[in-house]
Structure 1
Amino acid sequence: MTDTAPNSQHSTRLVVSYEYASLILVVLGLGWAGFFASIGWWRVVGLDLLLIVVGVASYLLIRRGQLTIGLLLSQTALFLLVGAICLMFDVPSADAPRVSHLYLLVIAALGYLNYRRQPSGVQIGLVVICLASFVALASSTLSTPLAMPVPDSVRIAGSWVNTIVAVGMLCGCAYAMQAEFTSRGALSRDLMAALWNEEFISSTSLRSIESAPLSARKLSCAGPAPSAGRFPRQSLFPKPSAAA
């Protein structure tokens, strides 16, 4: 089942942003899996392979049109993966800071884009959890008793790579947000200008429209019918005295 409900329609720009984010996860997972395999850190390799699986699954779901479930599942899986990496392998030290938690901001940003597209309690809940977890991990040295920190010599170089990738993805999310908000604002301004200039054309007679309830008055730009004509804004917004 694909997203076909009116309130779940999504722009091509957002879909492409999600697809690129999924592919970046795959590339990042492949790179780190290859590196840690070369030094024998197989538990980290296992997490990197899971990251690749999440990226591929998210990409395929998005390509099939199942954007909502694809995003919710991928955000949940990524949150668990990032949390495990932060608490077990990316434990901060005096020489190497923790940086994996930066990806929680990326997950929250993508989640907010999805919330703007289709508001839901589950989605905003995931956003809040990601932000709260980011604050907790950034403000402390949280770890688990089973933690096996990666050597600082590896983490120092990795901190640069992860920071660059995470900031780049955040910039992409910011661009997608700005472009989406600008597009919606331009559409609203165009509709208001057209209404003010009485540029709408009705596909039914003006008399039948004026006699209908306000909630039932609909506009169509498909072209004038024999009894159609210009749609004056006064017919949409009655005078205060009449409305009272």
Structure 2
Amino acid sequence: MEDPAGRRVDYGQRHLAESDLAATPLEQFERWYQQVVDAGTAAVPEPNAMTLSTVDEDGVSARTVLLKGVDARGFVLYTNLRSRKARGIAHDPRVSLVFGWFGVQRQVCVRGRAEEVPREETEAYFTSRPYGSRIGAWASEQSAPVDAATTLDERAAQLRQRWPDTGSAADVPTPPHWGGFLVRAHEVEFWQGRTSRLHDRLVFSATGTGTALDVAGNWSVARRQP
């Protein structure tokens, strides 16, 4: 294989100055997110993909999940509530998120605490999912061992017979073991790659007056060395 130490990418497309930063972390995130979307899938195939890190009895684990919402409260994702990530959150709600938008030489790092979203939000989102994804939520006991991929295929086929695709949002009920998590951030870092590894890192940190992402008074901003 190639020697990883020999690979070099020189970042230098942009510079992130304090004067460029929005007044709130929500506005800055929305601004960058839209710019990533506008850059196209050739640059960043899935702008809403993020790495979620959790801690359980066995230590730290990380995986890629999809952002399904962001507002003044924080960042929202959905999952099987029996999964390893959900068990980790139950063990310790402190989590981190990383949006690796390397096609545009940017990343956003979030630190915060996760909590379950209200059940009505989970149900509203679940009914918006494609039929196959709703069946999959029932078919998979996420993170549990399985003897073969065909086992999941057979289980999904049985569930399609139980709940045929009627075209109605209510044709597959929301599993009781499936739900959402809201990550209430206390730190949001915006990282811009620069040449010679002198990257820009501007960090919003909660001041203790609140964590609403759309209130400028809740946050202080500091530059960190790369």
When Rg is computed on C-alpha atoms for both structures, the one with the higher figure is 1
Q: TM-score, normalised by structure 1?
A: 0.21
Return the structure number with greater strand share.
Answer: 2
Return the structure number with greater helix share.
Answer: 1
